Amino acid sequence: MRWRDKLIRFMYGRYGYDKLSFFMFCAYFAIFIIRTFLAFSSSSVIRVISLVLLFLSFALLALIIFRFLSKNIYARQRENAVYLRLSKPVKGFFKRTFNRIKYIKTHRYRKCPHCKIFLRLPRKKGKHTVKCPRCGKNFDVNIVI
What is the distance, to the nearest Å, from the Cα of residue 38 to the centroid of all Cα atoms in its chain? Answer: 26
Give the pLDDT confidence of 34-68 residue by residue, as tens digits: 988 887 777 888 888 888 999 999 999 999 999 99
The amino acid that residue 65 corresponds to is: I
Q: How far apart are CA 99 and CA 97, in angstroms?
A: 5
Q: How far apart are CA 145 and CA 129, in angstroms?
A: 17
Give the pLDDT confidence of 104-127 residue by residue, as tens digits: 999 999 999 999 898 999 999 999
Q: Do 83 and 21 lie in a common domain?
A: yes
Q: What percent of the chain has pLDDT over 70?
A: 99
pLDDT of residue 37: 86
Domain count, the chain: 2
Give the DSSP letter string of 62-91. Answer: HHHHHHHH-S-HHHHHHHHHHHHHHHHHHH
Q: Do 54 and 112 lie in a common domain?
A: no
The amino acid that residue 7 corresponds to is: L
Give me the domain span that covers residue 111. Answer: 107-145
Of 69, 84, 102, the last residue of a domain is: 102
pTM of the model: 0.73
Q: Do 25 and 86 lie in a common domain?
A: yes
Q: Do 16 and 49 lie in a common domain?
A: yes
For the beta carbon of residue 20, count every other beta carbon within 10 angstroms: 20
Give the pLDDT confidence of 73-110 residue by residue, as tens digits: 999 999 999 999 999 999 999 999 999 999 999 999 99
Q: Do 72 and 22 lie in a common domain?
A: yes
